[in-house]
């Protein structure tokens, strides 16, 4: 059983890699961004509250996120493992996750930090398209859908995310640097951080991640 975190700025490829990794290993894929977007689409009260922050590119309050994670973990069977994608996003969420793991009598196995430089991220995000139903991620320039403007997996229309405009992207990158990047030190101290360059094809990056997961944790 593996418990893994994927860190990295928006556009680094977390979603693409998380989908591939979790289906390969049979892990539960827990993406807080996807859960929030579902709540926004369904217009639940949680979704209405979260939408305000998401549109601005700032973080949704911790209590909403922790509630989502707890609900999802208690309602899903985690058999082979769990992959957190886009969570934790700040130190207080990381501490909360440490506490939840401790309650379960175990620790996180690995934190993977996927790294890509800032201008490449803006380019990737402005050309990103996503499936609103199954959350599969495409890119108009580097990874277009073979089904045109529909999803190859489920046939749904592809969409541009409401927060993938240049101004919001720059805000999200700043929030990442300010709030999320410091988590690398948190996991480095725990001896479970692996830093991986995300500047390659999805297949190549996937191999780098598998290599890192197959090696003993650095510093352990």
Catalytic sites, residue numbers: 14, 89, 128, 161, 172
Out of 28, 46, 49, 53, the residue judged to bind ligand AMP by CB under 6 A:
53
- How many residues touch ligand AMP (CB under 6 A)? 16
Name the segment binding ligand AMP (CB under 6 A); options: 18-26, 29-37, 98-106, 151-159.
Answer: 29-37
In the region spanning residues 138 to 177, those forming contacts with ligand AMP, defined by CB under 6 A, are 163, 172
Residue with tokens 């890509």: 116
What is the number of H-type helices and E-type strands within the chain?
9, 8
Q: How many CB atoms lie within 10 A of CB 215?
A: 10
| CA-CA-CA-CA torsion sign (117, 24, 104, 62) | positive
Out of 18, 21, 60, 137, the residue judged to bind ligand AMP by CB under 6 A:
60
Measured distance CA(100)–CA(124) in Å, rounded: 34
In the region spanning residues 84 to 143, those forming contacts with ligand AMP, defined by CB under 6 A, are 86-87, 89, 93
Task: Find the radius of gyration of the CA atoms of the chain.
Answer: 17
- The yes or no reply on residue 40 touching ligand AMP (CB under 6 A) is no
- The yes or no reply on residue 10 touching ligand AMP (CB under 6 A) is yes
Locate 41 and state its tokens. 């689409």
How many residues does the structure list for the chain? 220
Nearest approach in angstroms of CB 161 to ligand AMP is 8
Closer Cβ to ligand AMP, 179 or 217, answer by number = 179
């Amino acid at each position: 059983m593996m418990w893994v975190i994927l860190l990295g700025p928006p556009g680094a490829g977390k979603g693409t890699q998380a989908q591939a990794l979790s289906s390969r290993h049979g892990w539960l894929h827990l993406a807080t961004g996807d859960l929030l977007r579902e709540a926004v689409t369904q217009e639940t009260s949680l979704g209405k509250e979260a939408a305000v922050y998401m549109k601005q590119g700032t973080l949704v309050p911790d209590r909403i996120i922790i509630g989502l994670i707890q609900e999802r973990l208690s309602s899903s069977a985690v058999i082979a493992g769990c992959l957190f994608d886009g969570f934790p996003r700040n130190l207080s969420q990381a501490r909360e996750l440490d506490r939840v793991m401790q309650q379960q009598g175990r620790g996180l196995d690995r934190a993977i930090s996927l790294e890509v430089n800032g201008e490449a991220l803006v380019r990737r995000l402005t050309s990103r398209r996503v499936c609103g139903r199954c959350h599969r991620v495409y890119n108009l320039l580097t990874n277009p859908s073979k089904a045109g403007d529909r999803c190859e997996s489920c046939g749904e229309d592809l969409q541009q995310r409401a927060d993938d405009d240049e101004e919001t992207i720059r805000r999200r990158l700043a929030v990442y640097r300010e709030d999320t990047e410091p988590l690398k030190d948190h996991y480095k101290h725990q001896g479970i951080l692996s830093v991986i360059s995300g500047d390659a094809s999805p297949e190549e990056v996937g191999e780098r991640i598998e290599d890192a997961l197959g090696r003993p944790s650095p510093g352990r």
